[in-house]
């Protein structure tokens, strides 16, 4: 096991193209609403870091859909491949409180369950995927088409388990194409009850395309397993006091992948990903405003 390495080199903006497949939705809490969905948050963060970023998704032909497209544009996400579905409404997640404990109703049969197949032209540095949007048969077929026909170097899989909207068969199928896996400590037991090094080793041996396994550890930071060298690296423990953890994991995913594609050492990728997520938890909202050069070069 290793700790992170020496001080990071200066942050650089690198030309790269990223495409994220999955849900665009609104979290609705009473009269309040906030745009989200892990793929959307990821896309917003990696666009802010400097990547040319696209999404394959769908929104309804309604006011929430129009607002979502406008917000995506503000955040630098290209929506060329976000379909407008005239038969289904824009995705929502209804949030309710019971004795202070939130519960989430991810409404079914909405636009992101019916993402149409498309094949964006050009070469992409990475394809991002999760599990929620693949609960619908239409979207699953669209994703399989993208995975097969869209030119990409890396496949980033953020499992993002939500309720019962995933199966072991689905996860194992996606892992066969994954080169970089991100999982939280809460999701890790799905892959076995062994200690972290043994779990990572077993995954690396079973899924030969894997290069890196990122494990977020909450207040303890994160770890990255280098599958080619069988090395597990831990970050330093974050020091910030969280205000909201919404979007923290998505910012970690975006920052780790961006720096990996930029050719930074894995220790630098881990260090910066934890630093960004540590900043995000001090803010309200999944994608707060920040300048990556100021954040990483201070």
Q: Output the pTM of the full model.
A: 0.94
Question: Is residue 96 pLDDT above 90, yes or no?
Answer: no
- For the stretch 18-57, pLDDT in tens is 999 999 999 888 888 999 999 999 999 999 999 999 999 9
Task: Provide the token pair at 174.
Answer: 């996606």
CATH superfamily membership of 13-290: Ribokinase (3.40.1190.20)
Residue 263, phi then psi, degrees to nearest 5: 85, 15
How far apart, in Å, are the Cα atoms of 24 and each of 124, 201, 261, 282?
Answer: 21, 34, 25, 24
- For the stretch 151-206, pLDDT in tens is 999 999 999 888 889 999 999 999 999 999 999 999 999 999 999 999 999 999 99
Mean pLDDT of the chain: 93
Task: Provide the token pair at 123.
Answer: 């070469």
Q: Are 55 and 43 in contact (CB under 8 A)?
A: yes
Q: Where are the domains of the chain?
A: 13-290
- Which has the closest alpha carbon to 292: 272, 274, 266, 278? 272
DSSP string, 225-243: EETTTTEEEEPPPP-PPPS
């Amino acid at each position: 096991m290793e700790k992170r390495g020496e001080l990071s080199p200066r942050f650089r903006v690198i030309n790269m193209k990223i495409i994220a497949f999955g849900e665009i939705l609104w979290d609705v809490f009473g009269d309040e609403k906030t745009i989200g969905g892990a793929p959307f948050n990821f896309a917003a963060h990696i666009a802010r870091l400097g990547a040319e970023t696209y999404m394959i998704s769908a929104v309804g032909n309604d006011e929430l859909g129009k607002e979502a497209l406008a917000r995506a544009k503000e955040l630098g996400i290209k929506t060329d491949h976000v379909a407008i579905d005239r038969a289904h409404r824009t995705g929502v997640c209804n949030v309710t409180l019971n004795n202070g404990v939130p519960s989430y109703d991810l409404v079914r049969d909405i636009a992101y369950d019916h993402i149409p197949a498309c094949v964006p032209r050009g070469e992409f540095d990475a394809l991002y995927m999760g599990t929620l949007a693949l609960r619908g048969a239409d979207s699953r077929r669209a994703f399989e088409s993208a995975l097969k026909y869209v030119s990409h170097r890396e496949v980033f899989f953020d499992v993002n388990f939500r309720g019962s909207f995933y199966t072991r068969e689905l996860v194992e199928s996606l892992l066969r194409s994954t080169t970089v896996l991100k999982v939280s400590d809460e999701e890790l037991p799905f892959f076995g009850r062994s200690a972290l090094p043994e779990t990572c080793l077993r995954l690396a041996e079973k899924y030969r395309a894997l290069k890196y396994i990122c494990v977020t550890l909450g207040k303890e930071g994160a770890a990255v397993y280098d599958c080619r060298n069988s090395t597990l690296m831990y970050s330093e423990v974050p020091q910030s006091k969280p205000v909201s953890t919404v979007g923290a994991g998505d910012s970690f995913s975006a920052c780790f992948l961006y720096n990996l594609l930029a050719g930074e050492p894995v220790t630098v990728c881990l260090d910066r990903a934890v630093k960004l997520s540590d900043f995000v938890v001090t803010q309200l909202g999944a994608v707060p405003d920040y300048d990556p050069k100021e954040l990483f070069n201070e």
